[in-house]
A = this chain, B = another copy of it.
Amino acid sequence: MPIPAPLTGVVPPVCTPLTPDHEVDVPSLIRLVDHLVEGGVHGLFVLGSTSEAAFLTDADRRLVVETVAGHIGGQLPVLAGVIDMTTPRVLAHVAAVCAAGADAVVATAPFYTRTHPAEVARHYRLLAARSPVPVFAYDIPVAVHTKLGADLVLELASDGVLAGLKDSSGDLGAFRSVVTGARAHPEITGFSLLTGSELIVDSALALGADGVVPGLGNVDPAGYVRLDRLCREGDWARARAEQERLCALFGMVGVGDRGRMGAGSSALGAFKAALYLRGVIACAATADPQVPLSEGEVERVGKYLAAAGLL
Write the residues of chain A forming the contact surface with B, with a CB cutoff of 8 angstroms: 22, 54-58, 60, 83, 85-89, 92, 110-116, 118-120, 122-123, 126, 142-145, 170-174, 176-177, 180, 197-200, 202-203, 206-207, 234, 236, 240, 243-244, 247-248, 258-265, 287-291
User: Do A200 and B173 touch across chains, with their CB atoms under 8 A apart?
Assistant: yes
A57-B92 CB under 8 A given contacts A114-B263, A200-B207: yes
Choice from B88, B114, B176 contacting A199 with Cβ under 8 Å: B176
Q: A126-B289, A203-B206 are in contact. Are A119 and B55 (CB under 8 A)?
A: no
Q: Which of B88, B173, B289 contacts A170 (CB 8 A)?
A: B173
Which of B87, B118, B236 touches A261 (beta carbons < 8 Å)? B118
Partner among B114, B234, B247, B288 whose Cβ is within 8 Å of the Cβ of A177: B247
| Bound CA span A122–B262, Å | 12
The 4 closest A-B pairs by CB, nearest first: A116-B262, A173-B199, A203-B203, A123-B289
Expressed in whole angstroms, the Cα–Cα distance for A172 and B173 within the complex equals: 9
Contact B261 A291 (CB under 8 A): no
Contact A54 B265 (CB under 8 A): no
29 contacts between A and B (CB under 8 A): A54-B85, A54-B89, A55-B85, A57-B92, A86-B288, A87-B289, A88-B287, A110-B289, A111-B111, A111-B112, A112-B143, A112-B144, A113-B264, A114-B142, A114-B263, A115-B262, A116-B261, A116-B265, A116-B291, A123-B288, A170-B170, A170-B171, A173-B200, A176-B200, A176-B247, A177-B199, A180-B247, A206-B206, A236-B236
Using known A-B contacts A114-B263, A247-B176, determine if residue A86 contacts B54 with beta carbons closer than 8 Å. Answer: yes
Taking CB atoms, residues of chain B closer than 8 Å to A126 are 288-289
How far, in angstroms, from A200 to B206 measured CA to CA in the complex?
11
Q: Which residues of B contact A83 (CB under 8 A)?
A: 85, 112
Contacts of A234 in B (CB 8 A): 236
In the bound assembly, the distance between CA atoms of A287 and B112 in angstroms comes to 14
Bound state CA distance, A89 and B60, in angstroms?
Answer: 10
Residues of chain B contacted by A172 (CB below 8 angstroms): 170, 172, 197, 199-200, 203
A291 engages B88 (CB within 8 Å): no
Task: Tell me the smallest distance from the CB of A129 to a CB of chain B, in Å.
Answer: 11
With A115-B264, A118-B291, A264-B113 already in contact, the answer to whether A56 and B89 are too (CB < 8 A) is: yes
Contact between B206 and A54, CB atoms less than 8 A apart: no
Given contacts A180-B248, A202-B207, A289 and B122 within 8 Å (CB-CB): yes
Closest approach, in angstroms, between the C-beta of A262 and any C-beta of chain B?
Answer: 4
Nearest CB of chain B from residue A11's CB, rounded to whole Å: 18
